[in-house]
Amino acid sequence: MTHGPLILAPAGNKDSFLAALAAGADAVYCGLKSFSARMEAKNFSIEELAPLTQLAHDRGTEVYIALNSLMKPGDSEMAGKLLDQLNRWVKPDALIIQDTALLQLAEQTGFSGEIHLSTLAAASFPTALKLIGESFRHRITRVVIPRELGIDEIKAMSQACPPNLDLEVFIHGALCYGVSGRCYWSSYMGGKSGLRGRCVQPCRRLYTPAPKSDYERERDRLKSGNKIGKERGHKRFFSCQDLCLDVLVKALLAVPKVRAWKIEGRKKGPHYVFYTVKAYRILRDHGGDTQMKKTAMELLSQALGRTGTHYYFLPQRPWNPVDINGQTGSGLLVGRVKIVKQAPCLIPREELLSGDVLRIGYEDKSWHCIQKVSKYVPKKGRLNLKFSSRTPPPKDAPVFLTDRLEKTLEEMISGLETERVKKQTPQVAPSDFHARLPGKYKNTGIFKKNPVCFEVHVKRNTRGERLGDRSGIWLSSESAKSLSKIPVSKIWWWLPPVIWPDEEKKWKTLIDLTLKKGARNFVLNSPWQMAFFFIPGQNREKGLNLWAGPFCNIANTLAVRTMSDMGFSGVIVSPELGGRDYLQLPKHSPLPLGIVISGNWPLCISRILPENLKTDMPFASPRGEQAWIRQYASNTYIYPNWELDIKAKKNTLHKAGYSIFVHLIEPLPKTVTLKKRPGIWNWDLNLL
């Protein structure tokens, strides 16, 4: 058993799982074919996982199952049955969850393993860990912290970590532009939710910071030609390089509560898994040996990932992970399409092996294609390219090596496969589990005397405006300056979707000041922000009306039940759901519900301010979709130039049981004109 942090390997298919074992991973995490945050990976059935888990356990390797998807109202029954079958037939060491409904289902099914809180749950500041440790004692044992944290922030998280909790830190793999759990870009553009593992990666597209009058012309340029990245202004402004801490991981060895080093990559092949696990095992166990460090770095350079970045790990040398002049296609860039004697070919920068998989072009290009190498090609040799598409890739199109299975690794996997088939594959019986849903709430608190609905208009500031009894204001240093001039006790004060470790003291001071002035109504946009108001075992200030806000991503009644157990007065539900889901949710809700029915909802929230794009200036996608950037404190918001608008559904929603209707009003830049288009988001869609 290792005495250092566990090396946690990804596995999206059987060969990658076996490659992780061959490389000596201490733990492997994988997903099922449902409720996984990486649904584009092949993932596993219960029958497939059982013998693999037996094999892993025989070798002293732990297995974690990622059930880290957002759950809709009708998902509880199916998720509970899967959890029951996992517990009976697979017996994994832990679950990785985003949705707190899984806490209720784990209790109902008697799940015997640990529960780890996913990075999608956005536990992003130190005091949050104290709350989690106290509120979910013996239920949540590990928190996966955000990728955006630097080493000093990780140390602060570690110091705040209670004895019954430990931390998991990402050390390698793909980076999202948006903060995990705070990106709605894919869902907003067509019903495929990143919170449900189906992100279509709109952040990796080309965008244009052109003046509004140029949008159509620039869009037409993209549609009409085969030019690659040379169109004026078109850049991948939000497409991140991969995280690669490489030799810097030695700094994590001294952080006591960091129990696991996590490698991202459940969509990657066995080559990537094997090389990254081997490299980080060397850096953990032999990081003081110069020659061994060189070996590890060589392994990482050949792992077929994107160019690496240390991101924000070193606070004195922060590294913007977006390089608009570099390549951020997945895989290792091995060259570009050349035309020799009127025939397309590749002169590779690296040797190519028989069986290597190449991708020509970026995945968002209609002409991109996959080609398998049929024979060995030496470095600077020549590989003829054959295209079946009517529109072949143009000259200079990038070519990426995305997967390979060299003979040595293939033999290792084959040997482990022989061991696996000897394990008994269970005849998995259907589960007879039935989820116990909570009962509907009774009118209490602010709804006891007046259960009718009301509306809250939420604004950034209130300069020169007359405020009503139920106005909403985003709490900030600026809005706090007006506390003596406004009816503080009647305002609904909104907290931000993300609070970072270095901001915690500032927010604590702002909240305490607002409470001292008489504030009673707060909307918390992370469940863990409850830590600013109440820690179990301490007296809570009476008369507070605390609601879980829409960025808490609450989308089912079991998650609402968890919010009730934590002390929330009500929940403003996730805006990602479809109409059928919204109308079903109040039937068993143990708390009053609210919903955002209009206004400016962000595509995503990030800690990265894009280079070469100005705040409050419009930019456009290849399809002509327009957006703008706004920065508040340390967070960057990306807003589309059309509003969410389901006001026409208000009466239907009220009859279904919703009590509060929210309008989010963002100050519009002078350079941006809102587009008139339906803003119903996923109302008519069955959210995927």
Q: What is the CATH number of domain 6-177+241-313?
A: 3.20.20.110
Q: Where are the domains of the chain?
A: 6-177+241-313, 332-401, 445-604+642-664
Topology agreement, domain 6-177+241-313 and domain 445-604+642-664: yes
Are 372 and 357 in contact, with CB atoms under 8 Å apart? yes
Query: Exposed (0-12), middle (13-18) or buried (19+): which is 217, by Cβ within 10 Å?
Result: exposed
Q: Beta strands of 174-286 (E only): which ranges?
A: 242-244, 258-263
User: Does the pLDDT of residue 1 top 50, yes or no?
Assistant: no
Q: Who has greater pLDDT, 200 or 40?
A: 200
Token pair 């992370």 is found at 526
Q: What is the CATH number of domain 445-604+642-664?
A: 3.20.20.60
Using the 8-state DSSP alphabet, how is residue 352 labeled?
B
pLDDT computed for residue 227 by the predictor? 46
User: Does the pLDDT of residue 228 top 50, yes or no?
Assistant: no
Mean pLDDT of 335-358: 93
pLDDT computed for residue 487 by the predictor? 86
Q: How confident is the model at residue 56 (pLDDT cuts 50, 70, 90)?
A: very high
Tell me the two tokens of residue 515.
Answer: 């409470």
Q: How confident is the model at residue 450 (pLDDT cuts 50, 70, 90)?
A: very low
Are 474 and 459 in contact, with CB atoms under 8 Å apart? yes
- Going from the C-alpha of 485 to that of each of 30, 272, 465, 481, the distances in angstroms are 54, 59, 11, 9
Digit-coded pLDDT (tens) for 303-339? 998 889 999 999 999 889 998 888 788 899 999 999 9
Q: How confident is the model at residue 367 (pLDDT cuts 50, 70, 90)?
A: confident
Q: What is the CATH number of domain 332-401?
A: 2.40.30
Using the 8-state DSSP alphabet, how is residue 202 labeled?
G
Mean pLDDT of 12-21: 96
Query: What CA–CA distance (Å, rounded) separates 305 from 268?
Result: 9
Are 116 and 142 in contact, with CB atoms under 8 Å apart? yes
Taking all residues of the chain, what is their mean pLDDT, rounded to a whole number? Answer: 90
Query: What CA–CA distance (Å, rounded) separates 496 from 122?
Result: 12
Mean pLDDT of 281-293: 95
Closest CA to 195 of 122, 253, 246: 122
pLDDT computed for residue 141 by the predictor? 97
CA atoms within 13 A on the CB side of 540: 17
Are 320 and 636 in contact, with CB atoms under 8 Å apart? no
Closest CA to 133 of 145, 146, 143: 143
Q: What pTM does this model have?
A: 0.93
Q: Who has greater pLDDT, 469 or 595?
A: 595
pLDDT computed for residue 225 by the predictor? 47
pLDDT computed for residue 22 by the predictor? 98
Q: How confident is the model at residue 443 (pLDDT cuts 50, 70, 90)?
A: low
CA torsion 153-155-156-157 (nearest 10°) is 90
What share of the chain in percent tops pLDDT 90? 72
Which strands, in side-by-side order, build the sheet including 383-384? 369-372, 357-360, 398-403, 332-340, 343-346, 383-384
pLDDT computed for residue 188 by the predictor? 86
